[in-house]
Amino acid sequence: MSLKRTSSSNAPKSSELMPNDTCPSTRIAEAIAAPKLPSLFVADLHLSDKRPQTAAAFLGFLSGPVRQAGSVFILGDLFDSWAGDDDIDSDFNRSVCDALGAATSAGTAIYFMLGNRDLLAGKGFAQATGVQLLDDMASIRLGARSLLLSHGDILCTDDHEYQAFRQQVRNREWQAEFLAKPLEARRKFIETAREQSEAAKRGKRAEIMDVNADTVANLLRSHGYPVLIHGHTHRAARHAYLIDGHRCERYVLPDWHDQAVWLAFDGNEFSVHSGGEPK
């Protein structure tokens, strides 16, 4: 199986990049019909045994703020890599999964959306941890607001090369073939793909790798002007828009490279917290 790269000259148009199975369609999972408040939102922790401090911060988050929350939404790239649900048996992944399991057992609902780094996490991961898998996009009513949740990479429609890659690795047949390979071979492949991705990123303008403004506006319009929350770009911000006369917001979640940081929602207001105290 080769990892096909699409050059910009024959890159598909953005309209061709979203077949039905990857279209930002909205499905409201039954399980999240009524998430409990307050809710916490995190993304892009990129947990790895190479960053023990970030892992420790996440374990502290799980045993602290998460226990006081009604629901927690992890919007992708929790793990820096996940080679399949049989990857759960490494000491590092096991420790993170055990801590997630302890938090869900203690009564906090934890929802997990796949990122691009951990897109191979599946039912085995969910069963081992008690987290509930969430589609990208997920539309939920929470308190006084309608929220639209995404990892965020699907919004980066200017990066045609990345979108072609995303479409390939999200393909079920491709995944089945990949998951049939031995674990060690999958880990090696992921490592190589990451190195290629990092090299490709260095040659791309920063704007190309950010969300496309029209894609965001169209998405907000087609979903009734919700609050959009996503990660992936690591460009933490609160953006305010006026679209068709409707006030809309887009929260971009930060990564955890420097500190533990999360967005909280009490049903009316959003607030950003890091470590323990609000920023």
Minimum CB separation of residue 233 from Mn ion in Å reads 8
* End-to-end Cα separation, the chain, in angstroms: 46
116 binds Mn ion (CB under 5 A): yes
Q: Look up tokens 């045994």; give the residue.
A: 49
80 binds Mn ion (CB under 5 A): no
Q: Which two tokens stand for residue 263?
A: 């967005």
Q: Return the number of the residue (38 or 115) whose C-beta is nearest Mn ion.
A: 115
Facing residues of 17 across strands?
A: none
254 binds Mn ion (CB under 5 A): no
Q: How far apart are CA 85 and CA 88, in angstroms?
A: 6
Task: Return the range that interacts with Mn ion (CB under 5 A); candidates 9-17, 71-79, 123-131, 251-259.
Answer: 71-79
115 binds Mn ion (CB under 5 A): yes
Closest CA to 84 of 92, 75, 93: 93
255 binds Mn ion (CB under 5 A): no
**Residue 190: C-alpha distances to residues 95, 105, 182, 183, 194 (Å):** 21, 32, 13, 11, 6
Minimum CB separation of residue 93 from Mn ion in Å reads 18
Minimum CB separation of residue 110 from Mn ion in Å reads 19
38 binds Mn ion (CB under 5 A): no
**Selected binder of Mn ion within 46, 160, 230, 232 (CB under 5 A):** 232
Q: How far apart are CA 152 and CA 129, in angstroms?
A: 24
Closest CA to 13 of 155, 158, 153: 158
**Selected binder of Mn ion within 45, 77, 79, 159 (CB under 5 A):** 77
| Residues of this chain that bind Mn ion (CB under 5 A) | 77, 115-116, 232
